[in-house]
A and B are shown apart, each in its own frame.
Chain A
Amino acid sequence: MEKLKDALDFSDFSKTERVCFYIFTVFLLVFPWLGVGSFVKTVMIQFMLFSLFGMGWNTIGGYGGQVELGKAQYVGIGAYTVALMMVWWKVPFWISMPIGVLIALGYSFIIGYPLFRLKGHYFAIATICTSLVLKDIFDNWNLVGAAKGIELPIHEHPDFLYMQFKSDTYYYYFIMGLFYIAIFYMNWFRKSKLGYQLRMIKDDEDAAESLGIDIRWCKIKAYSIASAFVAVGGGFMAVYNLYIDPASVMELSLSIKIALMAMLGGAASLWGPIIGAAFLVPLDRFLGSWLGGHKGLTGIDFMIYAMLIMIVSAYQPKGIWGIIEQFRKRGR
């Protein structure tokens, strides 16, 4: 109960932030009814999905300060669990998704234990390596469809148990639900004991150790939480796209995208990953959609995208949220 209260308590934010959050919530709630196009709706779904990923990454990468670049493997675990259980045994989404999360948790403990012997760049490269190893295994494992991937059967009629709908609006509200659960969880997390311990570790590992914090265990816990978040998103991707293959759910570029959005928005802040996703997802999708079909412009959209990444990283390493805070200080 206490925890729930903490999760719903946003009182330590400034009034403006709270008002913005409420406005934003209302905006999201009514969004599908504003007569928007369906592509926009898919963009919003992508935005919330990547916010979810980013908030997960934020536990270990933001609050914990560990350069984690292997989240795609957990997207894959979540997606594959849902897809395989549905194809093999017709297990409903609502059962297979939690199982996927449990598998991701278990796997993250096994991997996390040796992984957190490493620090800094060694850790970063090692996370990439573990993710690539898992991808290679799935790429060659005939039982799970190997590189051919898995197609989920399309149900003719909308089916809540299997999360099969014709209209994206249902998916929209579903991912929105997950999105808010994630926000509330993160709101609790940042005030929890683990949250404080992680920040202490980030600031000064030696000092944290002298205070009796079990550094490795803390990091593993945060890593597992992040993995669970990402696996939920992975499960959603499976039912949403109806087709998964290792190249689309386990690729290195996905790992980088997840971390990039959270970092660019502002690591170690509650709103950072959301802002990052709100910025980069539409940019990516719309630029691609507008410029992609035109001749002679190949690559321009990516060049703009890359410029923005460089500018934000160079100008304000705390990300877009850092820029906002900077303005705020000046405003006072």
Chain B
Amino acid sequence: MLVIDALLQGILIGLLFALVALGLTIIFGVMDIVNFAHGEFLMLGMYAVYWTNYFLNIDPLLALPVSAALGVLLGLASYYWLIRYLLRGPAIAQLFGTFGLMLFLQYLAMFLFSADYRMIDKGVLVGKSYSIGPFIFDGTKLAAGFLSLISFAVVYYFLYKTKTGKALQATAINKEAATYMGIKTDKMNALAWAIGGGTVGIAGGLLVNFYYAYPMVGILFVMIAFACVALGGFGSIKGVFFAGLLVGIIMMIFPVFGQIIGSDFLGPHFKFTIVYLAYFIIVVVRPQGLFGWKN
């Protein structure tokens, strides 16, 4: 009973983790960059929905397009103004370039919005919960899980079924070959950043329904997203989906096991430790991640 409950809760939160990590993995797949500032895109997405809700009284779920649009713009802006220049350097310079962006956005947000914690209190689902059989679900989390799944499906459809999406995939698999086929790498890179920013913007909009927004919120989620992306295999869309679910489930189930065994040692305070440890072990056994095809 407890286990099933934890499993369901894990899947709900895992879907959101997967959506957060999706953008990271797309960007990585296309251009081999790990974007440290990803969590800050999430944070700004959260603020976008919060302020729309606050000033315009629009339901947070209907305000999602605002955060998605902001995410796309952010992605494009960082690509054209920063990432293009970083691409010339080695991996570590790229890493720290995005790290600089992360710091910048964090403190910009702090400067603009102050360090106050902000929570949404108006909305159709906010604060509601539903009992389904013996289980109780938070309305906003259900919505977040469901909408994450839909966003994921849309992106998946786009990448695998449309021409542009296929071109993006081709660039990810082999840049040079793609260039010979007449695919413009620069355009594809920008597209990857737009999708990456857009998806994480949506994730932020969903998250703010049940989580507080504040300038440093990104780092909490981006660490999990890193683990998801690496676990699933850098650049793998399928991988990140299952890795997100796996991380969500591990996080929820682990404390339940501690409870069943009756050990205080295996309490919730180790739930992230176990996620990181799981990543470490899986990746050492299988160095390209669960579904990775790049090394």
Chain A interface residues toward B at CB < 8 A: 61, 65, 67, 114-115, 117-122, 124-126, 128-130, 132-133, 136-137, 139-140, 252, 256, 259-260, 263-264, 267, 298-300, 302-303, 305-310, 313-315, 317-319
Contacts and interface: CB of A to CB of B under 8 A. Distances in A.
Given A117-B284, A303-B111, A310-B97, A125 B82 contact: no
Contact of A122 (B99, B102, B234): B234
A306 B94 CA distance: 14
B280 A130 contact: yes
Contact of A126 (B88, B106, B283): B283
Where chain A touches its partner, the secondary structure class is helix
A313 B280 contact: no
B85 A314 contact: yes
A137 B295 CA distance: 31
A307 B104 contact: yes
Interface string B268-286: 0110110011011001100
17 contacts: A120-B295, A125-B227, A126-B284, A129-B227, A129-B277, A129-B280, A133-B277, A136-B273, A136-B276, A139-B269, A298-B115, A299-B110, A299-B215, A305-B103, A314-B89, A317-B88, A318-B93
6 closest A-B pairs (Cβ-Cβ)? A317-B89, A309-B100, A317-B93, A313-B97, A299-B107, A306-B104
Contacts of A137: 273
A81 to B, nearest CB: 22
Contacts of A122: 230, 234, 283, 287-289
A2 B276 CA distance: 45
A309 B283 CA distance: 31
B86 A303 contact: no
A48 to B, nearest CB: 22
B92 A61 contact: yes
A126 B89 contact: no
A126 B281 CA distance: 9
B8 interface: no
Of B104, B226, B229, most buried by chain A (CB within 10 Å of CB) is B104
B77 interface: no
Contacts of A128: 223, 226
A314 B82 contact: yes
B230 A67 contact: no
A139 B268 CA distance: 13
A314 B234 contact: no
B155 interface: no
B34 interface: yes
B114 interface: yes
B273 A307 contact: no
A310 B94 CA distance: 9
Nearest to A313: B97
Contacts of B100: 306-310, 313
Nearest to A262: B92
Contacts of B110: 298-299, 302
A59 B137 CA distance: 51
B93 A129 contact: no
B82 A310 contact: yes
B161 to A, nearest CB: 28
B101 interface: yes
Nearest to A297: B111
Nearest to B34: A121
B150 interface: no
B262 interface: no
A229 to B, nearest CB: 18
A332 B270 CA distance: 58
Of A121, A130, A264, most buried by chain B (CB within 10 Å of CB) is A121
Contact of A299 (B28, B101, B111): B111
Given A125-B279, A309-B99, 18 more contacts: A65-B90, A67-B92, A121-B28, A121-B91, A126-B284, A129-B227, A129-B276, A132-B276, A136-B269, A298-B114, A300-B107, A300-B111, A303-B104, A303-B111, A309-B96, A309-B100, A317-B94, A319-B93
B53 to A, nearest CB: 24
A263 B108 contact: no
A313 B283 contact: no
Contact of A67 (B28, B91, B273): B91
A125 B104 contact: no
A303 B107 CA distance: 6
